[in-house]
Structure 1
Amino acid sequence: MRHYTPLWREHYPVDVVSTGSDLAPYKVLVVPNAYLIDDAGAAAIIAFARGGGTVVMSFFSGVVDECNRVRPDGYPGAFRQLIGARIDEYRPARPDERFTVEFAGGRTARSSWWRDDLHLETGKALATYTDGLLAGRAAVVENSFGAGRVVYFATLLEETAFDDVLLDEVRAAGVGNPFAGVPSHVECTVRGDERQEYVFLLNQSPDLPATVPLAGGGTDLLTGSALSGQITLAPLGAAVVRRG
């Protein structure tokens, strides 16, 4: 949910796929804590990045194979070359422990729950710890891999900082967003084919109305009203707009 929620709030369409899925249509692959993964799955993720995709991956990934056997040649096992770093030790945090992380531009954030004690190889530090036993070590890693890019979270960043990094990568990869600027309490989904497009809009707020721009207009199938330019949803309101 930590990985999915910021994308949902910003109205980026998300598919939940397996490593056996066809990954070619996608620009960004988000891999949250894939502790157990088989060789074919690891190869699919690596090939996706090598071919030009962006991979955003979180800690404790690639550790064991499908039989729960620890992978040889050091952590993170299947993804050492992909993230461009080796991990000497995993360091789960105590419930009350918090750490300070500083990004390259000077912005700081807090992290908790987990830290990787890692050493950079081809990767570069996007952020480093500033306190504790791992002060100076990378907390977030960026790595160029083939024609693609990889960002690896070695700790659990606080929500705002995590969201910023994830959304920056999605935008940098050129993922389109037809609902940029629409309030986060409005759920937006598009379905269609080569002939017509259907836009489903749900205002989840019991108190706030919302206005959604609709380039080209359309017809609200729930009311039969013709639309031009935008639609206003009442609190808890809904619309299904046919376009095309």
Structure 2
Amino acid sequence: MDTVMRHYRPLWEHHYAADVVSPHSDLSPYKVLVVPNAYLMDDEGVNAVTEFARDGGTVVMSFFSGVVDACNRVRPDGYPGAFRRLIGAKIDEYWPARPGERFTVEFTDGRTATADWWREDIHLETGTALATYADGLLAGRAAVVANDFGAGRVVYFATLLEQDAFDRVLIGELTAAGVDNRFDGLPAHLECAVREDERHEYLFLLNHDAEAPVAVPVGSGTDLLTGRSASGEITVPPLGAAVVRRARRA
């Protein structure tokens, strides 16, 4: 659960609506698929993730994915098993960190980040390094890999990056993929959701902060909790809520 939450946290804090789906679901409505350490995956799921990228989607995947099949049998042809062509790299060796060990990762733009717990000794094939290990025996080897696959793109994390660095990469991929975020720039403590019917959309706004109100641009609509018209923006009080009905966007 901790692993899933560290992938979900940046989506929540940056107000991206995320669905939790099986790889056997219809993935066609999505632009980005986040795969958190999917150690076990059957062939149907592997094919679905692969075709999602081939058809133009972006896949963000973390280490230790695709290692075994549905019967918990290690896949042949070395690590990462099912996803070697997808990530564009072969894992020569798993390289877990010692307890308490931390190491530095350097991105191609010069920024650095701390990582711990896990590393992989990666041999790039069609992929390129977004970040490399900056110290230790794996210095210079890829820590984060990007690979163009079909019409899509895959980003693979071969280590456990500190949360802020992971968030930055993930949000960058969502932005590049054109994922809609109508609540961009609002504080993380404001929970936002949108529901629609044939004519209207409904903005659900919950302020989880006990002290600070939040001003939210809403255009023109009606606050259904108060019955008042909303124009321009609405202020959600501390520990308060608002539900705004407005015309559905074209």
Q: Same fold (TM over 0.5)?
A: yes
Are residues 1:225 and 2:232 paired?
no
1:9-49 Cα shifts (integer Å, max 9, x gaps)? 11111011101111001000000000000000000000000
Q: Percent identity?
A: 73
Unmatched runs of 5 consecutive residues or more in structure 1: none
Are residues 1:203 and 2:207 paired?
yes
Deviation at 1:133, TM superposition (A): 1.3
- Report the 3-state secondary structure (helix = DSSP H, G, I; strand = E; otherwise coil) of the residue aligned with 1:3: helix
Are residues 1:55 and 2:94 paired?
no
TM-score scaled by structure 2?
A: 0.96
1:90-119 Cα shifts (integer Å, max 9, x gaps)? 122122110110111111111001001110
Partner of 2:20: 16
Amino acid corresponding to residue 197 of structure 1 in structure 2: E
Question: 2:71 and 2:163 mapped to 1: Cα distance?
Answer: 33
Partner of 1:242: 245
Deviation at 1:243, TM superposition (A): 1.1
Question: 1:175 and 1:117 mapped to 2: Cα distance?
Answer: 32
Match of 1:67 among 53, 65, 71: 71
Partner of 1:173: 177
Match of 2:138 among 114, 134, 140: 134
1:160-205 Cα shifts (integer Å, max 9, x gaps)? 1110000000000000111111111100000012211111000000
Partner of 2:116: 112
Amino acid corresponding to residue 130 of structure 1 in structure 2: A
Are residues 1:46 and 2:34 paired?
no
Match of 1:85 among 89, 93, 97: 89
Deviation at 1:74, TM superposition (A): 0.6
Match of 1:3 among 7, 28, 50: 7
Deviation at 1:233, TM superposition (A): 0.9
- Report the 3-state secondary structure (helix = DSSP H, G, I; strand = E; otherwise coil) of the residue aligned with 2:45: helix
- Report the 3-state secondary structure (helix = DSSP H, G, I; strand = E; otherwise coil) of the residue aligned with 1:92: coil
Amino acid corresponding to residue 180 of structure 2 in structure 1: G
Question: 1:211 and 1:145 mapped to 2: Cα distance?
Answer: 41
- Report the 3-state secondary structure (helix = DSSP H, G, I; strand = E; otherwise coil) of the residue aligned with 1:81: helix
Partner of 1:34: 38
Match of 1:124 among 122, 128, 137: 128
Amino acid corresponding to residue 222 of structure 1 in structure 2: L
Question: 1:40 and 1:193 mapped to 2: Cα distance?
Answer: 34
- Report the 3-state secondary structure (helix = DSSP H, G, I; strand = E; otherwise coil) of the residue aligned with 1:33: coil
- Report the 3-state secondary structure (helix = DSSP H, G, I; strand = E; otherwise coil) of the residue aligned with 2:105: strand
Partner of 2:194: 190
Question: 2:180 and 2:56 mapped to 1: Cα distance?
Answer: 17
Count of aligned residue pairs for this structure pair: 243
Which 4+ residue blocks in structure 1 deviate beyond 4 angstroms?
none
Question: 2:178 and 2:140 mapped to 1: Cα distance?
Answer: 32
Partner of 1:154: 158
